[in-house]
Amino acid sequence: MHALTFDRFGPADVLRWTERPDPIPGPGQVLVRMKSVGLNFADVYRRNGNYHLSGSAPWVLGYEGAGVIEVPVAGDSQFPAGRRVGFADMPHANAELVAVDRDRLIPLPDDIDADTAAAVLLQGLTAQYLVSDSFVVRAGDVAVVHAAAGGVGLLLVQMLKALGAVVLGIASSETKRDAVIAAGADVAVGYEEWVDATRALTGGHGANVVYDSVGRTLSDSLAAARIGGTVVFYGMAAGDPDPVDPRLLMDRSLTLTGGDLWNVLTGAEARRERAAALFQQIRQGTVKPQIAARFPLHDGARAHAFLESRGAIGKVLLTL
């Protein structure tokens, strides 16, 4: 098989399309022939050497995607050869063949194609737990979404609106802000004015919840939350945040919580139930995935460069 690999940390051009041995499924694993793979900033962080990365070079990136089972677990009638499946949390997805734990497989309904699955599983399940686990959103809540035109951001805006929230989305360009409004946000602003815009929207009270995936903006996010409000920190696209003085949380009765999808996908049943709920939202039109671009997997370096350009609105896919 072939895979997108790199053997040193660096810019996108360290990525190479190379021939690798076919993976051998271990006990309880299937072999999936990939059709579509989701690209995420975590892949960029790992390629740059500033995010956790297991094993030794040459490394293969990727954690989510969709395809067809080529070699099933012997005697498994639920996931036989030819079954269409996706996954959100299995490494080495940037390859033609991937060994996937059976418990991490998500069966794909007939009306969910491979590109849709690859576009929503990791980021859609992330947005889902952000509105249901990290903070329970209620109708009328004012929610601020950082990076609202990104893969998670656009899905998060749609889920918040479906729950009746008032949404202020932050995006870096007019084109992105237009996309955020199209996704349903009530207000879309840039990074220069978002704190003042939040105060204006809330009559000076601040937001019920601020979703911060940028990192360096955390102190402003805390300032933009109302007394008794919540800031959900779930990413650091612009770097690590400054330390937070716990007295700030005490003085304004703020809640600062972290979020990580891996702590939510606790087993096969939870994973498939959450995915089924996400697919139902897509089926109903409540959530409409937006694909920013598709690149052949062998052209992964160009896809990485595009994602890093910050020009993507929605999800970037690698296809086979």
Per residue of the chain (320 residues), what is the pLDDT tens digit? 999 999 999 999 999 999 999 999 999 999 999 999 999 988 998 999 988 888 889 999 999 999 999 999 999 999 999 999 999 999 999 999 999 999 999 999 999 999 999 999 999 999 999 999 999 999 999 999 999 999 899 999 999 999 999 999 999 999 999 999 999 999 999 999 999 999 999 999 999 999 999 989 999 999 999 999 999 999 887 778 889 999 999 999 999 999 889 899 999 999 999 999 999 999 999 999 999 999 999 999 999 999 998 888 999 999 99
pTM of the model: 0.93
The C-alpha atoms of residue 247 and residue 268 are separated, in whole angstroms, by 40
The predicted pLDDT at position 259 comes to: 86
| 115 belongs to a structural domain | yes
The C-alpha atoms of residue 258 and residue 235 are separated, in whole angstroms, by 9
CATH number reported for the structural domain that contains residue 64 in this entry: 3.90.180.10
| 194 belongs to a structural domain | yes
CATH number reported for the structural domain that contains residue 157 in this entry: 3.40.50.720
The C-alpha atoms of residue 265 and residue 129 are separated, in whole angstroms, by 10
CB atoms under 10 Å from CB of 110, counted, come to 6
Same-domain pairing of 247 and 178? yes
Same-domain pairing of 46 and 117? yes
| 271 belongs to a structural domain | yes
Same-domain pairing of 199 and 294? no
| 133 belongs to a structural domain | no
The predicted pLDDT at position 310 comes to: 82
Same-domain pairing of 6 and 50? yes
| 134 belongs to a structural domain | no
Same-domain pairing of 197 and 251? yes
Strand order in the sheet with 207-212: 187-189, 166-170, 142-145, 207-212, 225-233, 255-258
Residue type, 303: A
User: Among the three residues 225, 258, 291, which one is the final residue of a domain in this structure?
Assistant: 258
The C-alpha atoms of residue 150 and residue 221 are separated, in whole angstroms, by 18
Same-domain pairing of 285 and 181? no
Same-domain pairing of 244 and 196? yes
Count of domains observed in the chain: 2
Same-domain pairing of 301 and 242? no
User: Among the three residues 207, 237, 258, which one is the final residue of a domain in this structure?
Assistant: 258
| 225 belongs to a structural domain | yes
The predicted pLDDT at position 52 comes to: 82
Q: Measure the N-to-C terminal CA separation of the chain; round to a whole number of Å.
A: 12
Domain enclosing residue 310, as ranges: 2-121+264-319
| 226 belongs to a structural domain | yes
Do 254 and 248 form a contact (C-beta atoms < 8 A)?
A: yes
The predicted pLDDT at position 53 comes to: 86
Same-domain pairing of 147 and 99? no
User: Among the three residues 235, 258, 281, which one is the final residue of a domain in this structure?
Assistant: 258
Same-domain pairing of 243 and 278? no
Same-domain pairing of 278 and 251? no
Same-domain pairing of 42 and 18? yes
Contacts of 150 (CB under 8 A, 6+ apart): 213, 312, 314
Instruction: State phi, psi for 158 to the nearest 5 degrees.
Output: -65, -40
| 22 belongs to a structural domain | yes
